[in-house]
Amino acid sequence: MSWHALVAAREAVGATGALLTGRSIPDWTRLALLTVFVGGPTAALVADFNLGTPLGMELLAPDPTDPELLPVTAAALVAATVALSLYIVVGAVFEFVVLDALRGRPFAILVRFPNHLRPALDLVAFRLTVYGLVIAVLAVALAATVGADGRLATAGSLSLVTAALGGLALSRLTSRLVVPVMLVEGCSLREGWRRVRHRIERRPGEYAVYLAVDLAALALVLVFGAALGALAAVVVALPLGAFGLGLGSTLVASGLSGEVVTGVIGLLLLPPYLVGTLALVALVHVPATVYVRYLALLTLAKTDRRYGRGPDGRLHGIESG
């Protein structure tokens, strides 16, 4: 028996190469920006990059628990909350924008943003609900496991693993399969899940294989991203950190306050840090993101070719002419 997901996994390699080959630097930059926001494996690379990139500022930064700095700390927390909220919403919108690009539409991020805002908000609400439920189940299971023994501890451990894997699977299926259905059909997330659920019920083995292939690709990218993050820490972070520490020590010795020195170093080192991060995302995680999206589109296209076709009716990156 030929599993559609395995065939799609092979075809997605060619589709990814066809889409990215010959792209201009602006196109790669836009794709890198989209990849940063749609999350997935990119989060691992950014985390690794940050762990190795102190920029020489942590030794000079003020103590956020200082009573005199509590207003500043509170303002920073509010700003971080707002920034995180915007990141989540923009990331949900970009899920649809990425699929537009993969299906042959121009790389017009700002033009397509308003068109996808409403379904993106539905996606955000769904994700927050799923994450909240998973966290609640994990908390209960963890509380039951601590100090328990025998069958209760085993049941708690199994609940932890089941909740984590179930949340991951639900999140991946929503982003990879439901979002394309919402985009093509112009339907709500609830209707998109209804249609995907019917597909899964008709071919449970097919979509189990798809999910396994998708998670295997995620694991490979996470491992490779971690290795690349370690390399980035050596190639990029160490020179930036050494420069920041040296410059900071010189400025502090000249009589400037730690807050001013931190701000100066941040302004100087943030641009090369962002450029380096974006370049790494472009080199590794753009192809990975394009691949896993094509994998989903092509798996859907095996049973309904509308999901793999662009607005001109051609399956971009697969068919010619």
Provide the pLDDT for residue 124: 92
Output phi, psi for 313, to 5 deg. Answer: 90, 0
Taking residue 288's Cβ as centre, other Cβ atoms within 10 Å add up to 23
Provide the pLDDT for residue 231: 73
Q: 253 pLDDT exceeds 50?
A: yes
DSSP secondary-structure letter at 116?
Answer: G
d(CA 238, CA 230): 11
In the structure encoding, which two tokens stand for residue 212, read together? 């396994």
Provide the pLDDT for residue 193: 93
Taking residue 80's Cβ as centre, other Cβ atoms within 10 Å add up to 10
DSSP secondary-structure letter at 63?
Answer: P
d(CA 315, CA 305): 8
Q: Which among 20, 11, 92 has a CA at the least distance from the CA of 287?
A: 20
Q: What is the mean pLDDT of residues 220-236?
A: 72
Contact 160, 138 (CB under 8 A): yes
Q: 111 pLDDT exceeds 90?
A: no
Sign of CA dihedral 105, 177, 39, 227: negative
Four-CA torsion 69, 70, 74, 76, nearest 10 degrees: 20
| Candidate from 80-89, 118-127, 223-232 with smallest mean pLDDT | 223-232
First to last CA, the chain: 31
Give me the DSSP letters along 238-286: HHHHHHHHHHHHHHHHTT--HHHHHHHHHHHHHHHHHHHHHHHIIIIIH
d(CA 224, CA 316): 28
Residue identified by tokens 């089941």 is 162
Provide the pLDDT for residue 199: 86
Q: What is the mean pLDDT of residues 231-237?
A: 69
Q: 264 pLDDT exceeds 60?
A: yes
Domain-wise residue ranges, the chain: 4-308
The amino acid at residue 145 is T
SS3 at position 312: coil
In the structure encoding, which two tokens stand for residue 244, read together? 């920041």
Q: 82 pLDDT exceeds 60?
A: yes
Q: What is the mean pLDDT of residues 3-12?
A: 87
Most confident residue range from 61-75, 157-171, 181-195:
181-195
Provide the pLDDT for residue 68: 66
Contact 184, 307 (CB under 8 A): yes
- What's the number of CA atoms in the CB half-sphere (13 Å) around residue 123? 30
Output phi, psi for 107, to 5 deg. Answer: -80, 75
Res. 191 pLDDT band, cuts 50 70 90: very high
Integer Rg of the chain from CA: 23
SS3 at position 64: coil
| Candidate from 6-15, 28-37, 235-244, 275-284 with smallest mean pLDDT | 275-284
Q: 121 pLDDT exceeds 90?
A: yes
Residues, the chain: 321
pLDDT tens by residue, 135-160: 888 887 777 776 666 676 677 777 77
Provide the pLDDT for residue 192: 92
Provide the pLDDT for residue 60: 43
Four-CA torsion 308, 314, 317, 321, nearest 10 degrees: 160
Q: 125 pLDDT exceeds 60?
A: yes
